[in-house]
Amino acid sequence: MTAVDFSQVAIDKGRTLAGDLPVDWVCADATTWTGSDLDLAVVAYFQVPAALRRTAMWNVVSSLRPGGTLARVAHDSSNLTEGTGGPQDPAVLMTASDILDDLEGIDVEVVRAERVARVVTADDGHGSEVTKTAWDCLVRLVRR
């Protein structure tokens, strides 16, 4: 298992949370990193402008073995006006359809591509907790 993030702080946090799990921790820019023969790639809350996102997604899906799976979750564009939390810059938000468009030319079978609700709890400012809905986009696909 390989984990990639360009922040050493994030890598250190992941290492702590992972405990004894056998993970190869890589501090690298995900827009240039490539793997090979991956069974599964999980790309979670990677929010960068569209051109960089396209390069990174192209690289990671090209790194899957035939039959390998991509699981991608991100803050959805609609979260800005309909949801809560997450980045407030629309340039780094996306939809499931944007993610599929990034992969034009790669042969994939789309299993899921949709907007999904994520319930979060937040302080109401008066010492109580309220629940709110954050909107994510979710894509699951298999490389052919």
Footprint of ligand SAM (CB under 6 A)? 5-7, 10, 29-31, 44-46, 48
Q: Which is nearer to ligand SAM, 48 or 94 (CB)?
A: 48
Q: Which is nearer to ligand SAM, 107 or 117 (CB)?
A: 117
State the minimum distance, in angstroms, from the CB of residue 17 to ligand SAM.
9
State the minimum distance, in angstroms, from the CB of residue 29 to ligand SAM.
4
Helix, strand, coil percent content, the chain, rounded in steps of 5: 25, 40, 30
| Pure H helices in the chain | 8-18, 50-62, 79-82, 96-102
Return the ∠ at Cα 114 (arms to 108 and 115), rounded to 5°: 150
State the minimum distance, in angstroms, from the CB of residue 66 to ligand SAM.
26
Task: Residue 26: name the closest of 42, 45, 3 by CA.
Answer: 3
Q: Which is nearer to ligand SAM, 72 or 124 (CB)?
A: 72
